[in-house]
Copies of this chain bind each other. A is one copy, B any other.
Amino acid sequence: MADHPAARGLRDDTALLDGWVITHDTIVEGVHYLPNDPPGTVGWKLAAVNASDLAAKGAAPEAVLLSLTLQGDGAWERAFLDGLEEALPEFGLSLIGGDTTALPAGAPRVLGMTAMGRAGDVTPSRSDGEVGDALWLVGCVGNAAAGLKQPRADPAAKGHLVDTYRMPWPLLAMGRKLAPAAHAMMDVSDGLLLDAARMGASSGCGVVIDLDALPLSEAFVTECGDDLAARMFAATGGDDYALLVSLPADSDPLGLSLPVGPRVTRVGTLVEGAGISLQFKGQQVPAPETLGYEHRGT
């Protein structure tokens, strides 16, 4: 049933239909966000994670449809919509439709969004990486995973890491600049190692990641350190909404007049073979059993 050319074989995070990049992301209470997270930040996050998929395809955001579940007296949902209303124009998105459904009492909220963006001249897939490509990361990893730990321990926790977990910023301008130069591009949502392994597998390449090179924020290092365990945590934690880009070896992204702001770091290479291998201080280190966040039933 997925033989439509727009499906790209369902190997990508987005579909491409008549010049539209289309994506759908759903977030679940207790799975993708904490029940105590301020509802406005959940609205922001739903818009941001969808916009991040558009960013990774170099698309210009246009419109969203919202699937909103209703629970209780609706106060949570009103605050959620306030956060969504704040986020959408920041990302160039307008709400054009959707659905509202009642939930049985006590059921976790399930919030879905379909986002549409206008494709640029090039819409990089995740599967067109080539052996020899350099893997570049735009943005940091680990902040959101570290930020999620804090409110789990203390619901009143605040600060840069918590903010990054709750209210990510999709790298839209970066994505548009990088798309024409990229062989493959995707956003890092489930963990750098898992998403890089997916890019490698769908491109028919092996992946080497240099853990020393991982861009870590000062706040992350203060909280978690920067030893091998901390770097492994950052590389597998997920929710980063960084961009992972494979560029030809001779292409220097610093020559692309990229927007100022997010760090641009070479973190690895696509190689002959299959699977993922990790380097740390010049040595190969074993890959962890869990490369990131896998969507499994419970």
Contacts and interface: CB of A to CB of B under 8 A. Distances in A.
Interface of A: 1-4, 6-7, 10, 12-15, 17-18, 20, 22-28, 30-32, 62-63, 65-67, 69-74, 77, 84-85, 88-89, 94-105, 107-108, 110, 112, 114, 116, 295-298
Contact of A97 (B7, B107, B108): B7
15 contacts: A1-B85, A13-B97, A15-B63, A17-B62, A17-B63, A22-B116, A25-B99, A26-B112, A27-B101, A31-B102, A32-B101, A67-B67, A70-B295, A73-B297, A104-B108
Nearest to A89: B1
Contact of A6 (B12, B63, B295): B63
Contact of A95 (B7, B23, B65): B7
A87 to B, nearest CB: 9
A95 B7 CA distance: 7
B102 A7 contact: no
How many of these chains are in the complex? 2
Nearest to A30: B104
A24 B102 contact: no
Contacts of A67: 24, 26, 67, 112
Given A1-B84, A107-B107, 7 more contacts: A4-B63, A14-B97, A24-B65, A28-B103, A31-B103, A103-B110, A107-B108
Nearest to A25: B99
Question: Which of A27, A70, A102, A105 is the most central at the interface, judged by chain B CB atoms within 10 Å of its CB?
Answer: A102
A102 B294 CA distance: 9
A7 to B, nearest CB: 4
A95 B10 contact: yes
A2 B77 CA distance: 17
Given A17-B96, A24-B98, A297 B114 contact: no
Contacts of A10: 95-97
